[in-house]
Amino acid sequence: MLQRAAAVGVGAAGLSAVLLTHLHSDHIAELGDVLITSWVTNFAADPAPLPIIGPPGTAEVVEATLKAFGHDIGYRIAHHADLTTPPPIEVHEYTAGPAWDRDGVTIRVAPTDHRPVTPTIGFRIESDGASVVLAGDTVPCDSLDQLAAGADALVHTVIRKDIVTQIPQQRVKDICDYHSSVQEAAATANRAGVGTLVMTHYVPAIGPGQEEQWRALAATEFSGRIEVGNDLHRVEVHPRR
């Protein structure tokens, strides 16, 4: 995560907040690096706490992560005279409603459906009249439709159920239970009336030259702009008039 942020010119100390849709390992595994590096590379005399916004259970995960890195934190405090306390963190847990209102940016949260993982949330981020919704891992659900209604862009995780269901291991097939297919994500975008669908977190990985195949599947359900959201891909979002 931090390497990707650095590639677009954002250092760890420049993070305004961390948003967690849910607590699956592939969504939180790099949290320790974020907490430690944002602390060590922040040279303010009195650095503000880093906000971590996520579903219930987030505080427990953050506490456990800091404990796991306890030795590292101790080493750094012993080494650097200007580091005297552990990383300053503030955790905010939400299942629905307003979650952020700072510097012209507002964030609203709504529940999603990634059962048996529960609770899970999506985020609607608004600034300067533009809106982006981060769906996270979810199957189609009314609460996501409502959160995404009229958004300028919907960033949605997608899987190819037509491919995954052909894999013999049941444990692999099980991921179809709680993720949206390309077509399902596109149908969500269509129902919500969003301007752009950004597909991300693909399963399986999109091979070279296969992007148009994925776009074509999405286009069966959504007539708006469709983007394949590879890491570092930039999508400009403007308010629709």
Q: What's the pLDDT score for residue 8?
A: 81
Q: What's the pLDDT score for residue 241?
A: 62
Provide CB contacts within 8 A for 93, sequence distance 6+.
54, 55, 56, 57, 58, 59
Residue 131 forms beta bridges with which residues? 126
Quote the CA–CA distance of 102 and 157 in Å, as a whole number: 27
C-beta of residue 14 within 8 angstroms of C-beta of residue 48:
no
Across 112-240, where does the E strand assignment appear? Answer: 121-127, 130-136, 153-159, 196-203, 225-228
pLDDT in tens, the chain (241 residues): 788 888 888 888 889 999 999 999 999 999 999 999 999 999 988 899 999 999 999 999 999 999 999 999 999 999 999 999 999 999 999 999 999 999 999 999 999 999 999 999 999 999 999 999 999 999 999 999 999 999 999 999 999 999 999 999 999 999 999 999 999 999 999 999 999 999 999 999 999 999 999 999 999 999 999 999 998 899 999 887 6
Quote the CA–CA distance of 158 and 138 in Å, as a whole number: 9
Name the phi and psi angles at 103, rounded to 5: 50, 40
Quote the CA–CA distance of 23 and 55 in Å, as a whole number: 8
Quote the CA–CA distance of 195 and 190 in Å, as a whole number: 9
For 53, which DSSP code?
E
Where in the chain are all domains bearing CATH 3.60.15.10? 95-229
Residue 93 forms beta bridges with which residues? 54
Q: What's the pLDDT score for residue 45?
A: 86
Distances (CA, A) of 100 to 92, 105, 129: 10, 7, 16
Q: What's the pLDDT score for residue 32?
A: 96
H helices of 161-200, in order, are 161-164, 170-173, 182-192
Q: Which CATH architecture has domain 95-229?
A: 4-Layer Sandwich (3.60)
Tally of residues, the chain: 241
Point out the residues that are catalytic.
26
Q: What's the pLDDT score for residue 172?
A: 94
Distances (CA, A) of 208 to 199, 205, 211, 226: 16, 10, 7, 18
Q: What's the pLDDT score for residue 5?
A: 82
Q: What's the pLDDT score for residue 7?
A: 85
**CB count, 10 Å around CB of 88?**
14
